[in-house]
């Protein structure tokens, strides 16, 4: 009896394993809306002339529209901040590469690459300042209320010009601060900052 039960159990498990193996993984949609009236930016927020993302806020039990709007905006800002962090890291990767190359090619005394811990500190400070302060330059381009569940969507954008200006201002500030602390290897970085921003797509 025990052998028969074990055999049945084994066959059942095998059948379940085969069934699960044939099942294709489900893709998670960007949004949960089923409304055909949703604007294109709800699922495809990217813009060609800058950075953009979508914030979502579900309808709240109190029906507080101001709170829902603030929540959607905060969600969009958090997501946009993540994109800005990647841009800042790419900018400094380009900057470090350009400064290191210049240091290797120069015959000037003291030419050397930027130390990793200094570069990491500058990246962290620039990112924090941008996220904490400078995302004020981002604007809500559009809002959409989902008629199926009352969720509010916010399309938050930051123009290319604003993004590059913010990155440059904060990077200059931090680089000058490090130079004042004695990090002379960063002096050439200021001259190469524009090129690094342009190359950090």
How high is the mean pLDDT of the chain? 80
- Residue 105 predicted with pLDDT over 70: no
Q: How many domains does the chain have?
A: 1
Say if CB 156 and CB 55 are below 8 A apart.
yes
Does the residue 99 lie in any domain?
Answer: yes
| Domain that residue 177 falls in | 39-198
Residue-wise pLDDT for 16-55, tens only, equals: 444 444 443 333 345 567 778 899 999 999 999 899 999 9
Q: Round to whole Å and give the CA distance between 42 and 151.
A: 12
- Asked whether residue 31 is domain-assigned, the answer is no
Is residue 80 domain-resident?
yes
HSE-CB at 78 with a 13 A cutoff on CA atoms is 9
Residue 116 belongs to domain with CATH number: 3.10.129
Question: Is residue 82 included in any domain, yes or no?
Answer: yes
Percent of the chain with pLDDT over 70: 77
- Which residue is it, tokens 């962090």? 85
- C-alpha triplet 122, 126, 129: angle, nearest 5°: 140
- How much of the chain is in helix, strand and coil states, percent to nearest 5? 60, 10, 30
pLDDT at 9: 44
Residue 33 lies in a domain: no
Pair of tokens at residue 7:
């055999």
pLDDT of residue 118: 84
pLDDT for the residue 7: 38
Q: Phi/psi at 187 (nearest 5 deg)? A: -60, -40
Q: Among 35-39, 149-153, 173-177, name the one with the lowest average pLDDT.
A: 35-39
């Amino acid at each position: 009896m025990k052998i028969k039960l074990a055999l049945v159990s084994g066959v059942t498990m095998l059948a379940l394993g085969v069934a699960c193996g044939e099942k294709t993984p489900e893709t998670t949609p960007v949004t949960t809306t089923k409304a055909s009236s949703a604007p294109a930016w709800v699922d495809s927020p990217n813009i060609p002339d800058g950075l953009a993302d979508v914030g979502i806020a579900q309808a709240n039990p109190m029906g507080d529209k101001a709170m829902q709007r603030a929540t959607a905006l905060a969600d969009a800002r958090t997501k946009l901040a993540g994109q800005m962090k990647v841009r800042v890291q790419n900018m400094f990767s380009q900057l470090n590469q350009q400064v290191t190359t210049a240091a290797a090619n120069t015959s000037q005394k003291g030419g050397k690459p930027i130390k990793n811990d200094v570069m990491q500190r500058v990246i962290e400070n620039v990112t924090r300042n941008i996220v904490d302060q400078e995302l004020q330059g981002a604007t809500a381009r559009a809002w959409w209320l989902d008629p199926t569940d009352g969720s509010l969507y916010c399309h938050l954008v930051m123009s290319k010009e604003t993004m590059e200006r913010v990155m440059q201002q904060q990077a200059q500030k931090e680089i000058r601060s490090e130079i004042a602390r004695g990090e002379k290897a960063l002096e050439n970085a200021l001259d190469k900052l524009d090129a690094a921003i342009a190359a950090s797509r």
